Amino acid sequence: MVMKTEPLVLNIGPAHPSTHGVFRMRATLDGEVIIDVEPIFGYLHRGIEKLAEERTYQQFIPLTDRLDYVSAMGNNMAYCMAVEKLAAIPVPERAEYIRVIMAELQRIASHLIAVGSFLNDCGAFMTPILYMVREREKIVDLFEMVSGQRLTYNYMRFGGLSQDVPDEFLPALRKFIDQMPRYLDEYDQLLKENEILLARTKGVGILSKETAINCSMTGPMLRGSGVPWDLRKADPYSVYSRFEFDIPCGARGDSYDRYRVRVEEMRQSVRIIRQAMEQLPVGPVRSKTPVMLIRPPAGEVYSHVESPKGELGFYLVSDGSIAPYRCHIRGPSFINLTALREMIVGWKVADAIVIFGSIDIVMGEVDR
């Protein structure tokens, strides 16, 4: 017997507590099972790429903070690297090391939020977030020390940093780095074999290796599916080739694997920071090239870094004037949503929220 049921359209978002901002899905349900889903974007489309054309190169740095606002330092770094490549500005050694330290701290902070809100979506309302924010505040304090801001740092400049780190920064960082593994162990103790978490996430939202590659997924999404692709290793930028670290990978590509990859990456970041602190040279943190009103030679450049969400790329076209002719941002969160349909269709609504949480998107970067 063929049973026909009437499908129902359910609108999830844009103002919904588990859509991480203003994301909207138009899901078609059959009973409680999702049979089709269409992501709808644009509720935070602020036209950042257009604004770049109206600003000088340097004036655009604060706007990159607001792309992926959970990892502002990483965005600063990616943009500065793109302009440095375009205009061939050298970066002093010490600045490179401090940049790496900042980027890795930011990766920890971003993954903390990602894991926290993922667990939030699994149903442990607010409690995990309280734990994760406790650690994140420590990182935010470190950032505040160097840049004076809590969320939008605007710390990097072309050819280095806006200023050197203050004297009390390194001891504070050392203290944090010593504490962090303990906290991570605590989370593992609470979560790794947690019966409820396993039941909710194991085998849920499987993304196969082939689909992940075909859909241009990057970051923990791709690594969770078992592809060891990390730009820090595959295409080492800055001084990453001097550090030792592993690329954690999942096996099955389900939500649990993605969560595990994030936690393991935090450990690797701690490792990198520790090595960077040991090797940190003394010297200037900014090259002598004047950068206030640079006019890069006409040309184009694509430069990418491994941001916490995946491959963050900046495509800049210069026509020799003080403003970029075109600035395109490859937002990893945006492209990671390509495979949303594959992952969600066939699951119940409650699972869809968990799967969606495991993608870890930030709307500022999705809509730009």
Partner 1 sequence: MTRAISGEELAAGLEQRIPGSIIGTSKESILVNNQSLLSLAAHLKTEPGLEFDFLSSITAVDYYDYFEVIYQLTSLEHNHSIVLKVRCHDRENPAIPSLVGLWRGAELQEQEIFDLMGIRFEGHPNMKRIVLWEGFQGHPQRRDFLSW
Partner 2 sequence: MDLVPTRRFVYSDADLDQHEGEVIEALKARSQQPIPDQDQWLSEKAPEAGILLTSVDKVIDWARSNALWSVVCFPACCAFEFISTAASRFDISRFGMEIIRASPRQADLMITAGTLTWKMAPNVRRIYDQMAEPKYVIAMGACGISGGIFQSSYGVVPGYSRIVPVDVYVPGCPPRPEALLYGIRMLQDKISKAKVFRK
Chain contacts with ligand SF4 (rule: CB under 6 A) = 66, 152
Residue 72 to residue 365: CA distance in whole angstroms: 11
By CB atoms closer than 10 A (0-12, 13-18, 19+), residue 288 is exposed
Residue 15, binding choice from ligand SF4, partner 2, partner 1, none, Cβ under 5 to 8 Å by partner class = partner 2
Residue 152 or 211 having the CB closest to ligand SF4: 152
Nearest-approach distance from CB 293 to partner 2, in angstroms: 20
Among the residue ranges 4-12, 157-165, 261-269, 287-295, the one whose residues contact partner 2 (CB under 8 A): 4-12
Q: Which of 205, 132, 135, 246 is nearest to 359 (CA)?
A: 205
Q: Give start and end residues of each alpha helix (H) in 9-58.
A: 48-53
Q: Please identify, using beta-carbon distances, which residue of 70 and 89 lies nearer to partner 2.
A: 70
The binder of 164, among partner 1, ligand SF4, partner 2, none, by C-beta within 5 to 8 A per type, is: none
How many whole angstroms separate alpha carbon 72 and alpha carbon 228? 25
Residue 49 binds: one of partner 1, ligand SF4, partner 2, none (C-beta under 5 to 8 A by kind): partner 1
Q: How far from chain centre, in Å, is Cα 280?
A: 25
Could you say whether residue 66 binds partner 2 (CB under 8 A)? yes
What is the per-residue DSSP string for 271-323? HHHHHHHHH---S-SB-SS--TT--PPSEEEEEEEEETTEEEEEEEEE-SSSS
Taking the least distance from each CB to partner 2, the nearer of 91 and 109 is 109
Our CB check for partner 2 shows the closer of 136 and 274 to be 136
User: Residue 152 CB, nearest distance to ligand SF4 (Å)?
Assistant: 6
Burial group, residue 4, by CB count within 10 angstroms (0-12, 13-18, 19+): exposed
Calpha distance 123→159 (Å, rounded):
45
Which of ligand SF4, partner 2, partner 1, none is residue 202 near (CB under 5 to 8 Å by kind)?
none
Considering the complex, state which of residue 26 and residue 66 has its C-beta at the smaller distance from ligand SF4: 66
Omega prior to 332 cis, within 30 of 0: no
Q: Which of residues 92-151 bind partner 2 (CB under 8 A)?
A: 113, 129-131, 133-134, 136-137, 140, 150-151
| Of 293, 225, 212, 213, the residue nearest 258 (C-alpha) | 225
Which residue's C-beta sits nearest to ligand SF4?
66
Q: Which tokens in the block code for residue 274? A: 């520790």
CB 30 within 8 A of CB 7: yes
Output 66 or 295, the one with its CB closest to ligand SF4: 66
Of residues 63 and 276, the one with the C-beta less far from partner 2? 63
Rank residues 135 and 230 by Cβ distance to partner 2 and give the closer one.
135
With contacts defined by CB under 8 A, how many residues of the chain interact with partner 2?
49
- When CB distances are held under 5 to 8 angstroms depending on the partner's kind, the choice from partner 2, partner 1, ligand SF4, none that residue 21 binds is partner 2
CB distance 131 to 116 below 8 Å:
yes
> Minimum Å distance from CB 279 to partner 2?
32
Distances (CA, A) of 54 to 48, 72, 135: 10, 21, 38
Query: In the numeric block, which tokens belong to residue 86?
Result: 């375009």
> CB neighbours (10 Å) of residue 344?
23
Q: Which is closer to partner 1, CB of 158 or CB of 334?
A: 334
Side by side, the strands of the sheet bearing 8-12 are 8-12, 24-30, 33-40
Residue ranges binding partner 1 (CB under 8 A): 41-42, 45, 47, 49-51, 53-54, 211, 213-217, 227, 229, 234-236, 300, 302, 304, 311, 313, 315, 317, 325-326, 328, 330, 334-335, 337-339, 367
Residue 331 identity (one-letter amino acid): G
* Binding footprint of partner 2 on the chain (CB under 8 A): 1-7, 9, 14-17, 21-22, 26, 28, 30, 35, 38, 42-48, 50-51, 54, 62-63, 65-66, 69-70, 113, 129-131, 133-134, 136-137, 140, 150-152, 363-364
